[in-house]
Amino acid sequence: MIVTIETAKCYLRVDSSDEDEIIHKIILSAESIVMDVMRIEKEDLSAQCPEVLIAVLYAMSYLYEHREVADHKELISTLRSLLFGVRREVF
């Protein structure tokens, strides 16, 4: 994971540890979505690229805030815009 639970909780402004498990799952989902949009494998995902970290944090916060009804089409569209410069043309 390129985003730790502590970083995620700070970013999401969550103080308690009650939601640690769901936050962990959301981080994994966000990273998976970002990898799909970028067309990369897990070992190529790196926090060294600022766009990737921003995209993962954005996806994570979107999924956390819209737990009940997430518009995945809107999320993917925004991530494509954020990652356009670093997205691979093909797998």
> How many separate domains does the chain show?
1
Note whether 63 and 70 are within 8 A (CB).
yes
Stretch 3-24: mean pLDDT: 94
Q: pLDDT at residue 52 above 80?
A: yes
In a domain, 91, yes or no: no
In a domain, 55, yes or no: yes
Contacts of 90 (CB under 8 A, 6+ apart): 39
In a domain, 58, yes or no: yes
Here the tokens at position 22 are: 């769901």
Residues of the chain above pLDDT 70, percent = 97
Residues 19-36 pLDDT 10s: 999 999 999 999 999 999
In a domain, 90, yes or no: no
In a domain, 77, yes or no: yes
Nearest Cα residue to 83 out of 48, 35, 44, 43: 35
| Size of the chain, expressed as the number of residues it contains | 91
**pTM, 2 dp:** 0.87
Q: What is the pLDDT of residue 13?
A: 95
In a domain, 88, yes or no: no
Note whether 29 and 72 are within 8 A (CB).
no
Note whether 12 and 43 are within 8 A (CB).
no
Note whether 51 and 60 are within 8 A (CB).
no
Q: What is the pLDDT of residue 63?
A: 95
pLDDT band at 89 (very low <50, low <70, confident <90, very high): confident
Stretch 61-65: mean pLDDT: 95
In a domain, 56, yes or no: yes
Which residue range(s) make up the domain with 10? Answer: 5-83
